[in-house]
Amino acid sequence: MIKLQNITKSFGRLQVLKGIDLVVEKGEVVAILGPSGSGKTTLLRCINYLEKPSDGEITIDDFTVNCKRPSKKDIHTLRGKTAMVFQQYNLFRHKTALENVMEGLVVVQKVEKEEARRRSIELLEKVGLGNKLNAYPSQLSGGQQQRVGIARALALNPEVILFDEPTSALDPELVGEVLAVIRNIAKEGITMIIVTHEMGFAHDVANHVVFMDEGIIVEEGKPNDIFVSPKEERTKQFLKRITPEGVYSI
């Protein structure tokens, strides 16, 4: 279980997160929606401390970090429980697909090399890249790079995988293959928090939808609660703007 309590974050005088409370149950797939600039990326980055929250508390399982005074060790532990898939993939450019996936296992988790290799190959096969093990990122399409990014995250066997708009840097014809991979792993009961603009995907895959605007959670609930019968005016307007007429009326 993941519990965020009163997470706030300011960049200088700009308050980007204004007290976020969120509970994510084990195995849940959470979709975070919201207009650009509403703080979705910042929230995700606070969860693994790529961004330092100004205040609040992050709990993953039985481990709690008080964001007012975290120790280096706290941050390290937190990162050990999370994995992230980036909008820009952020693969290690000097390492092959296989080495990218193995890196965390070998360097951080100290898994024996042969074992790490075996597990990494398995994961790359699972994301459909069994034939690209030795390719460098520069030799892969965006969709393939992102699938390596997903395999790299899965390899760590984290409590939660954080996805920040995993398909929004992709050419439209490559979006499908990445979403298909995420759909697949969603079925395995891995806890995921996904920031996305893919409404159809969020509706199908998520079992918990969060709508954010201006640094707060405006509304959250089951996919149908949000997509079909949103209560808040801001949610309604956002959905109207972003989805074509009639798609989600059942």
Ligand X SMILES: Nc1ncnc2c1ncn2[C@@H]1O[C@H](COP(=O)(O)OP(=O)(O)O)[C@@H](O)[C@H]1O
What is the binding site for another protein (CB under 8 A)? Answer: 48, 50, 76, 79-80, 82-84, 86, 88, 90-96, 103-104, 107-109, 132, 134-139, 152, 156
What is the C-alpha to C-alpha distance for residues 164 and 194, in angstroms, rounded to an integer?
A: 6
Closest distance between ligand X and the C-beta of residue 112, in Å? Answer: 38
The smaller minimum CB distance to Mg ion, of residues 41 and 235, is found at: 41
Closest distance between ligand X and the C-beta of residue 11, in Å? Answer: 3
Buried b or exposed e, range 68-85, using 16+ CB within 10 angstroms: eebeeebeeebbbbbbbb
**In the set 20, 40, 148, 213, which binds ligand X (CB under 6 A)?**
40
Closest distance between another protein and the C-beta of residue 145, in Å? Answer: 12
What is the C-alpha to C-alpha distance for residues 165 and 41, in angstroms, rounded to an integer?
A: 9
**In the set 20, 22, 39, 89, which binds ligand X (CB under 6 A)?**
39
Buried b or exposed e, range 154-184, using 16+ CB within 10 angstroms: bbbebbbbbbbbbbeebeeebbebbbebbee
Closest distance between another protein and the C-beta of residue 48, in Å? Answer: 6
The tokens 């969860």 sit on which residue?
Answer: 47
**In the set 24, 29, 34, 209, which binds ligand X (CB under 6 A)?**
34
Closest distance between another protein and the C-beta of residue 41, in Å? Answer: 12
User: Judged by CB under 6 A, does residue 41 bind ligand X?
Assistant: yes
User: Judged by CB under 6 A, does residue 158 bind ligand X?
Assistant: no
Q: Which of the listed partners (Mg ion, ligand X, another protein, none) does 93 bind, with a CB threshold of 5 to 8 Å by partner kind?
A: another protein
- DSSP string spanning 52-72? --SEEEEEETTEEEETTS--H
With contact defined as beta carbons under 8 Å apart, do 17 and 11 qualify?
Answer: no
Closest distance between ligand X and the C-beta of residue 39, in Å? Answer: 4
What is the C-alpha to C-alpha distance for residues 44 and 39, in angstroms, rounded to an integer?
A: 9
The smaller minimum CB distance to another protein, of residues 108 and 228, is found at: 108
CB atoms within 10 A of CB 106: 16
Going by C-alpha positions, the residue among 239, 198, 243 that lies closest to residue 87 is 198
**In the set 24, 30, 38, 149, which binds ligand X (CB under 6 A)?**
38
> Which spans of this chain sit near ligand X (rule: CB under 6 A)?
11, 14, 16, 34, 36-42
